């Protein structure tokens, strides 16, 4: 069986974003969890290092020759001793692209994990995290797929409080939203958030407690993203109107939104109804938390 690694969708349960610094980067504070749905990276023999993309969203990466998976592989293999291994990577793209799910960073993290194990590259966790962080703001958080509180540019990580079982529904209106465009709109609005970490309990005892606490938080990129893609507002309104939804929010810079429900039965019912009402949307039932098994 070929070595495989799971690349879970990243969900920003909240995302507070501050004013840009002199370097143009925005400080942030975000509680991140990971879904049990995502992409898959498989290692196989090849004549030269390459990435083969397939799956329902492969077309959204067409023409992207130097993607994050390939960059991650090159960075790790450069640290390996001996001859260049004859390997390739297959990326099964099951998550939409430019969707606020950290897909590229999670794919890169999966590639780093599977390559380190399969090739026996002598790189410790700290160095692997440094490679992941060099690939993007979500890189370090997405490497292990564990719930974390992220600060700085996203590279300063502390363990999240203990989370309850989170039954959720992910919905994307099949609209791509470019992160730079959202940040540009965010800067134009000029309502910058406080990025000091909010008081966090050591554990949330129930999903209802978590949802109530999240209701006091926000996603500062939601308003500018909705301004660029009103379909996101339609998704949020649809989810918020359903009785099963404890809280609905956008993840990352959009366009994917999530709804948290009190049970698997409630989440199943919500997902089925959204699919019936809006069959053109990408709607997926999932559980949030992590880390999840590799296959």
Tens-place pLDDT, residues 218-239: 999 999 999 999 999 999 999 9
What pLDDT does residue 84 have? 75
What pLDDT does residue 86 have? 83
Fold classification of 4-159 (topology level)? Ribosomal Protein S5; domain 2 (3.30.230)
Where in the chain are the domains? Answer: 4-159, 166-289
Choose, from 124, 138, 234, 268, the residue flagged as catalytic. Answer: 138
Q: Quick one: pLDDT band at residue 59, thresholds 50, 70, 90?
A: confident
Residues 137 and 152: their CA atoms lie apart, in Å, by 9
Q: How far is CA 192 from the centre of its chain?
A: 22
Instruction: Name the CATH superfamily, with its identifier, for domain 166-289.
Output: GHMP kinase, C-terminal domain (3.30.70.890)
Nearest 5°: CA angle at 65, between 85 and 80?
A: 25
Average pLDDT over residues 283-291: 98
Would you call 10 a catalytic residue per the annotation?
yes
What pLDDT does residue 63 have? 63
Quick: pLDDT tens for 94-138.
999 999 999 999 999 999 999 999 988 999 999 999 999 999 889
What pLDDT does residue 60 have? 80
Quote the percentage of the chain above a pLDDT of 70. 99
3-state secondary structure 177-216: CCHHHHHHHHHHHCCCCCCCCCCCCCECCCHHHHHHHHCC
Residues 238 and 278: their CA atoms lie apart, in Å, by 9
Choose, from 10, 39, 93, 107, the residue flagged as catalytic. Answer: 10
Average pLDDT over residues 12-24: 96
Model confidence at 197: pLDDT above 80: yes
Q: Among candidates 73, 93, 8, which has minimal Cα distance to 292?
A: 8
Q: Quick one: pLDDT band at residue 65, thresholds 50, 70, 90?
A: low
3-state secondary structure 64-124: CCCCHHHHHHHHHHCCCCCCCCCEEEEEECCCCCCCCCCHHHHHHHHHHHHHHHHHCCCCC
Answer whether the bond into residue 255 is a cis peptide, omega within 30°: yes
What pLDDT does residue 64 have? 64
């Amino acid at each position: 069986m070929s070595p495989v690694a799971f690349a879970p969708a990243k969900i920003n349960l909240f995302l507070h974003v501050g004013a840009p610094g002199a370097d143009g980067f925005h400080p942030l504070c975000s509680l991140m969890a990971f879904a049990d749905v995502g992409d898959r990276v498989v290692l196989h023999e090849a004549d030269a290092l390459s990435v083969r993309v397939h799956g329902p969203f492969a077309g959204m990466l067409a023409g992207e020759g130097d993607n994050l998976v390939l960059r991650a592989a090159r960075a790790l293999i450069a640290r390996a001793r001996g001859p260049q291994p004859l390997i390739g990577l297959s990326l099964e793209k099951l998550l939409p692209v430019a969707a606020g799910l950290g897909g590229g960073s999670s794919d890169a993290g999966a590639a780093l994990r599977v390559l380190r194990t399969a090739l026996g590259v002598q790189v410790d966790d700290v160095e692997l995290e440094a490679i992941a962080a060099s690939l993007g703001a979500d890189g370090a958080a997405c490497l292990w797929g564990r719930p974390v509180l992220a600060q700085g540019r996203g590279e300063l990580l502390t363990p999240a409080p203990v989370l309850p079982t989170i039954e959720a529904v992910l919905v994307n209106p099949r609209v791509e939203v470019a992160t730079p465009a959202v940040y540009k709109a965010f800067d134009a609005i000029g309502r910058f958030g406080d990025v000091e970490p909010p008081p966090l309990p050591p554990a949330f005892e129930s999903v209802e407690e978590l949802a109530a606490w999240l209701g006091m938080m926000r996603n500062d990129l939601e308003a500018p993203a909705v301004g660029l893609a009103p379909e996101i507002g339609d998704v949020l309104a649809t989810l918020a109107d359903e009785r099963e939804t404890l809280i609905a929010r956008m993840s990352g810079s959009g366009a994917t939104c999530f709804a948290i429900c009190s049970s698997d039965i409630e989440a199943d019912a919500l997902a089925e109804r959204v699919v019936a009402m809006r069959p053109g949307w990408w709607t997926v039932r999932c559980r949030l938390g992590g880390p999840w098994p590799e296959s």
